[in-house]
Amino acid sequence: MRSAKRYDALIIGSGASGGMAAKELTSRGFEVLVLEAGPPVNPTRDFSSHTWPYQMMYRGFGPPGWKQQEQWMQDTASYYSRHFYVKDSEHPYTTDPGKPFMWVRARIVGGKTLHWGRLSWRLSDLDFKAASHDGFGDDWPISYAEMAPYYDRVEEFIGVSGNNDGLTHVPDGKYMPAMPMTCGEHLLRKGAEKTGRPAISSRVAMLTTQPKSFMKGRRKCHYCGHCGDGCITNDRQSGLTNCGDAGWLTDRSGYRYDERDPSTGRAWPAMPDEFRQLALGAATRAGFPGFVPDACLVNRYTPGSRLTAHRDADEQDFEQPIVSVSLGLPASFAFYSLTRGGKGRGVALEDGDVLVWGGPSRLVYHAVRPIKPGTHPVTGGLRYNLTFRHAR
Ligand SMILES: Cc1cc2nc3c(=O)[nH]c(=O)nc-3n(C[C@H](O)[C@H](O)[C@H](O)COP(=O)(O)OP(=O)(O)OC[C@H]3O[C@@H](n4cnc5c(N)ncnc54)[C@H](O)[C@@H]3O)c2cc1C
C-alpha cells in the first residue's frame, strides 16, 4: 500500500534509543515515523505498580508454571509486568552448547524503559579507552570529554538523582538530590570506608524533587517500590473513563467503543440523567435537536497533558454532533479543518464552557493544547472534560 506522506526519518522501535532519537529529531522539525512491534501503553490499564497482591489471583505470582511455559527467559518479568515482554514460547531462540544467554526482550511502546533499573552511570575513559589501559580489544573512537555534554543533556531531560562523588571512574553529572541511604546502607558505607572503599548512592533516573517544567505530567517519586511494574508517576496522568452504554477505550487491539470497562469486565456506569439533559440542551441550542448521547468520555488532564490532533470518526452516525464540556483548569482547544495539519483556530475554554460541533464540521480535526499549571477551587490542579457522542 502506498502512502502519500513522506517522512524525513524512520525509526524502528520506541525504546530508549528510538524514543530519544524521535524526540531529538522531532524537536528540530523532522517528520519522523516510528514503527513499534509492541502494543501501545495505557498506564491506567497496563501499569500495576499500585495493585496489591491481594487484588491479584495467586497473590501476584500468577498461575503455577506460567513463567516456565511462556516467559522462561524474561527473567525480570513478573505476573504484574509480563505484558511488557515477549513470550519466549512465541519468540524462541537457540544458543551454542555451553553458551547460554538470557535475552530479556521488551515488546511494547517504550521498550525496556518500562522495566529497566533506572541506574544511570556515566562511562569514563577507563571504559572508552579500555584497550589503552588493559590491552584488550580496541579503544572507542570517542572520549569521555566528547560525550560529557550529551550526558549532561540526557540527565537533565530524564531527571537523574545522585551525588557528585568525585570518582574518576564514574564521572559526576547533573543530578537531582540523591535518595537518602537506608540504615543498612549507612552501615555498609561505614564498613566500606574502613577498607578504604567509597560506598555511594546509586545514580538513578527517578525524580527526587518536583519535576521541572519540561517534564510534562511527571511527578516526584513516592517510593512505592514497584518500579518494574510500570511507574504510574511517570505517566502523563491523563486518565480516562466513561459512562453510558458505550465507552471509548484503547487496548492491544486499538481504539474502539466497547460496552464493558476492560479493567472490571463490567458495563460502564449509566449516564446520569443530568449529563444527558446537559448534552441534549447544549446540542439543541447549537442547532442539533434530538441529540441522543450514548457515550460520555470522561478525561482527566494534569498540567502538560494534551490531546494531539485527531477527529472523531468511529461513531455510526455523523449527523449527530459532539458535545464537549470543560471543567476545572482552562484549556486551549484547537480546531483544524477536514484534513490534518495547518495552524488551527484556537478556542479558549474555561470551567463550565460547552463546545458543540457537527454538521459540515463534524469530522474536523481538533486538539487540546498542553494544559497550563494552575488551580481551580473545585478540581485543584486538574482539568476534566466530558465528551458526549452518539456512538452506536
Ligand atoms: C531487567 C533490565 C534492567 C535494566 N536496568 C538498566 C539500568 O538500570 N541501567 C541501564 O543503563 N540499563 C539498564 N538496562 C538496559 C537498558 O534497559 C537497555 O539497554 C535499553 O533500554 C535499550 O534500549 P533500546 O531502545 O536499545 O531497546 P529496547 O528498550 O529493548 O527497545 C526496543 C524496542 O523495539 C521494539 N522492536 C523490536 N523489534 C521490532 C521490530 N522488528 N519492529 C518494530 N519494533 C521492534 C521493541 O518492542 C521495543 O519497544 C536494563 C535491562 C533490563 C532487561
- Encoded amino acid at 373, one letter: P
Domain boundaries, the chain: 119-205, 240-389
Q: How remote is the C-alpha of 309 from its chain's centroid?
A: 18
Per the CB < 8 A criterion, the answer to whether 160 and 174 are in contact is yes
| Confidence check: pLDDT of 236 > 90 | no
Between strands 383-389 and 295-301, the pairing is antiparallel
pTM above 0.85, yes or no: no
Convert the pLDDT of each residue in 133-165 to its tens digit: 999 999 999 999 999 999 999 999 999 999 999
Backbone CA torsion sign across 199, 203, 208, 212: positive
Measured in Å, residue 251 CA sits from the centre of ligand 1 at 22
| Confidence check: pLDDT of 237 > 60 | no
Grid cell digits, residue 285: 441550542
Alpha helix (H) residue ranges in 47-143? 66-70, 125-128, 130-134
Euclidean distance between the first and final Cα of the chain, in Å?
Answer: 30
Report how far residue 257's alpha carbon sits from residue 241's, in angstroms, rounded to the nearest whole number. Answer: 12
Quote the CATH superfamily of domain 240-389.
Alpha-ketoglutarate-dependent dioxygenase AlkB-like (2.60.120.590)
> From the CB of 125, is ligand 1 less than 6 Å away?
no
Per the CB < 8 A criterion, the answer to whether 287 and 317 are in contact is no
| Confidence check: pLDDT of 55 > 80 | no
Grid cell digits, residue 227: 518500579
What percentage of residues in the chain have a pLDDT greater than 70?
A: 96
Q: Which of 74, 112, 170 to mutate to test the pocket of ligand 1 (most atoms within 8 A of CB)?
A: 112
Output the pLDDT for position 380: 85
Q: Which of 33, 76, 116, 158 to mutate to test the pocket of ligand 1 (most atoms within 8 A of CB)?
A: 116
Output the pLDDT for position 226: 82
Grid cell digits, residue 49: 505498580
Report how far residue 306's alpha carbon sits from residue 251's, in angstroms, rounded to the nearest whole number. Answer: 19
Per the CB < 8 A criterion, the answer to whether 314 and 256 are in contact is yes
